[in-house]
Amino acid sequence: MARVFITGSTDGLGLAAARTLLDEGHEVVLHARSRKRAAAMSDLAPRARGVAIGDLSSKRDTRAIADQVNSLGRMDAVIHNAGVYLEPARGSTPEGHAQTLAVNVLAPWMLTAWIDRPGRLIYLSSGLHRDGGGSLDDIDWTKRRWNAGKAYAESKLYLVALALAVARRWPDVSSNAVDPGWVPTRMGGPGATDDLEEGHLTQTWLAVSEDAAAKSSGGYWHHRKREKPAAEALDPDFREKLVEKLEQLTGVRVV
């Protein structure tokens, strides 16, 4: 039996992953942005190890989430599932960051640093990460004109690069990125053409399976098959420059 923390588990892929793991007999720590959102998990919460509450767009809340998780004991795996999609404007978090960057990238970065090191890390990316290439000069969108699609694609590229950077830094941890496909969740919309079940089973497999492939590290996965990610994610220089940017923006280091 494994103990797994899943961010953004009130709906969509996170909720499906939580339900699957609970049904398989694993311990699951859920996450909701607010107590109101946590009410959506009323059927699962009684079966869970606990529910962490906090808004991932806030550094203070993200720290509180990590503290709540750590208080429940060491996790065997953490699934960084939470994310936002096409934000209509850059927005501004309490620390002044773009909403898409804060939730999709800065929060997973900080949680990676602050949650007691698990055996496995899974970062939810997207096939759209291939459209996220470009300069790292303005990852927080303080100079460029806002482009929601580009910002999302960049954030998902950064997550793949982050997963691979952590895999290199922490050889004792299995760190992987996942493309769940275009699935009919609240984020994906009703027109999505991929299978919802296949969309969440890769991350649960990577989190708990004893298969040798599932225990490997530094991969980019789609439907339990390892694929080649965008060239930038494979570039050690790009990854290290991204890490430097994340350290500068958050004041937090992953060591």
User: Which position among 85, 123, 152, 220 bears the catalytic label?
Assistant: 152
Pick from 201, 179, 206, 52: nearest CA to 120:
206
Q: Bridge-partner residues for 52, per DSSP?
A: 31
Which residue among the candidates 156, 158, 220, 245 is catalytic per the annotation?
156
In whole angstroms, give the CA distance from residue 181 to residue 237: 28
Q: What is the spatial distance between Cα 13 and Cα 62, in angstroms, rounded to a whole number?
A: 20
Q: Decide if 220 is catalytic.
A: no
192 phi-psi bin (left φ>0, alpha ψ -120 to 50, beta other): beta
Compute the radius of gyration of the chain from its Cα atoms. Answer: 17
Strand order in the sheet with 27-32: 50-53, 27-32, 3-6, 77-80, 120-124, 174-178, 220-222, 225-227
158 catalytic per annotation: no
- Residue 225's identity, in one-letter code, is K
Q: Which residues are catalytic?
A: 152, 156
